[in-house]
Structure 1
Amino acid sequence: MGRLIVPSVCILISIFYFIYTINLPKAKLGDPNAPMYFPLIISIFLFIMSVIYFIKELLKHYPKKEEVKLLFKGRAPVLIISTLIISLIYAFIFERIGYLASTILYMLAILFIVNGRNKWLVNLSVAVLFSVGSWYVFYHLLDVSLP
């Protein structure tokens, strides 16, 4: 289990590196995004290699465990990867469009992935009610300022 610490830390480092790379200042001469290209490639490469290393160590440590094998069967990989991608998008749009709108979009996306399109009314209701309810609690009752 201790061998999973290194790839986990590397995954976190790659995510932080990616986020900070996107926030680099634009170049004043030439291509404005030029300072971002190399660090972005490094962060993406580190993330991919760390995930591969994590999976290999996980399979070595638990070769006969059915729970680990279930992570790679059926819809599970799609659910895991799409949730990670949607969460990263949520982190990027949170400051730009605010808590309420970004949380509604985030909840909608996650619920549509999990429940499917057939339950669109339930997904929409839960996303809006949860987001508005949590916003009301934080903003009005707890007096916490949200973006």
Structure 2
Amino acid sequence: MEKHQTGNLIDSIATILLGFIIWFMIPYQIVIPSSLAQVAVNPQLIPRILAVVLILAGVFHLLSCFRHKERSIVNEGKQEDGAIIRLLLGMIAIFAYVALMPILGFVLATILDILCFIYLLGQPKWYISLPVAVIASVIIWVIFYQLLNVPLPTGFLGFI
């Protein structure tokens, strides 16, 4: 087995194991209050969904390792120009998002963060990026604030 295939195999197994570890740790880390014991949407729901997504992602990656033996996900040591810069800018964008959320509010900070990542991923056309960022932010806000009753920062605008 080639080096890149071994790395992909290890990545897949590690992702699956992490998903299972999170799944089994949830009851010990997130206590459900007795008032929410019979409610379908409780504090353990989102972590369980994320654990299942990790497990499924690991399984799909593992299957792709066996299906595409001749192709490599790794670019054989060649690095795309600017990849490290984009990675660092992405990390700065995440820290800025966390720092600006209490000031700007969830929706506005999320719009800016999504715009930043869309640009970093190579889609600088504002007439596509802006509607995508606004719609995605509003959908996320509706799911968490309206449907799941998760309090989100409102920022200086005070309403969203």
What TM-score, normalized by structure 2, do the two folds share? 0.46
- Identify the structure with bigger relative contact order (alpha carbons < 8 Å, sequence gap 6+): 2
What TM-score, normalized by structure 1, do the two folds share? 0.50
Structure with the bigger percentage of helix: 1
